[in-house]
Amino acid sequence: MYPETTKCVCGRDAKLEYDFVIEKYMGKTITIQNVPSYACESFHTKYARKTRLRIKELSREAFDCGLREIEYKD
Ligand SMILES: [Zn+2]
């Protein structure tokens, strides 16, 4: 589960939102949709550690299936 807010590196509150992430995998661009991310008022974006790991796994999954786009799932 993701908390609604978290502290940003700048000290502001960062809110949970769902955004897309563009990843490069083996020279291919893969778009991952609906990635849980945190954004503060200063437009810093951060991801939970497990989210970053999933982004890598999903890029590989999409690549293996020949997809350019994949839906985020935990
Ligand atoms: Zn910030």
- Domains belonging to the chain, first-starting first, are 5-71 (3.10.20)
Pairing of strands 45-46, 28-39: antiparallel
**Cα–Cα dist 29/40, whole Å:** 26
Q: How far is the CA of 17 from the centre of ligand 1 (A)?
A: 14
Give percent of the chain above pLDDT 90. 96
Mean pLDDT value across residues 41-56:
95
Q: How far is the CA of 23 from the centre of ligand 1 (A)?
A: 22
Side-chain-facing half-sphere of 13: CA atoms under 13 Å = 6
Q: How far is the CA of 39 from the centre of ligand 1 (A)?
A: 7
Q: How far is the CA of 62 from the centre of ligand 1 (A)?
A: 31
**Cα–Cα dist 70/13, whole Å:** 29
Q: What's the mean pLDDT when you consider all of the chain?
A: 96
Q: Are 8 and 19 in contact (CB under 8 A)?
A: no
63 pLDDT exceeds 90?
A: yes
Give percent of the chain above pLDDT 70. 100
